[in-house]
Amino acid sequence: MLSWADQVVLVLTIISVLLFFAAELIFFRFFSEATVLKGQMLFLSAGALINALLGAYFFLNHIFIPPEARWQDALLCLIIANIIFDLVAFLYVLCIFGPYESSLRLRLLRELGDVYPEGLTREQLFARYNLEDVVQRRLGRLLASQELVLKEGKYALRNPHNFFIVSEKVAIWLRRFYVG
C-alpha cells in the first residue's frame, strides 16, 4: 500500500506530465520556428504551476493528504513531484523533441509525409534544403531563443553554459560511459 505522500507525488507527477504532453500535442503547432524554445519553457512553467496549484488544492481539501499532515510534508511532496516532472520533461526535450526538431533526416521524412503519396523530386528537395536556408533558419531560431547574439556582424554564444551545451556534454559523457 502506498503512503499518502507517495500517492500525492505520483498523482501530481502523472497529471502534470499528461497535461504537458497534451499541451505539446495541441498547441505546439501554433508556435513559429522563432518561438519554439520559448514555447517549451512556457509548457515547463505551466507544468510546475499546475503541480503547485494541485498540491495546494490537495492539501487544503485533504485529498490524499490526511488532516494531521504537516504543511512541510506536503511541501516536500510538491517539490519531489516537481523534480520528477522536470526530469521527465527534460528527457522528452533531450531525447524526443530535440532530435525531432533539429534532425534533417527526420525533417525530410516529415515533409515527405506531408506530400504522401505524390512525393517530391530531388530538385524540389534540394530547393527546400539548400545550405544557406538551413543555416539561416537555425541562426534565426537561436537568435530568437537568445542562445546567440549578433554583435558587429558576428554570431556568439550569449552564455557558454546554456541548456544545449550542457545537454550535449551530458550526452557525450553518457556515450563514453556506456560505449567506452
- pLDDT tens digits, one per residue of 9-28: 999 999 999 998 898 888 87
pTM of the model: 0.63
Residue 37 Cα distances to 112, 131, 152, angstroms: 25, 22, 25
85: left (phi over 0), alpha (psi -120 to 50) or beta: alpha
Give the residue among 142, 144, 134, 146 at the shortest CA–CA distance from 107: 134
Q: Please check whether residue 79 is in contact with residue 37, taking contact to mean a CB–CB distance below 8 angstroms.
A: no
- pLDDT tens digits, one per residue of 136-158: 878 887 888 777 899 999 999 88
Instruction: State the Cα–Cα distance between residues 166 and 160, nearest whole angstrom.
Output: 9
Q: Please check whether residue 7 is in contact with residue 42, taking contact to mean a CB–CB distance below 8 angstroms.
A: no
User: What's the mean pLDDT when you consider all of the chain?
Assistant: 84
Instruction: State the Cα–Cα distance between residues 50 and 7, nearest whole angstrom.
Output: 17
Q: Across residues 164-175, what is the average pLDDT? A: 75
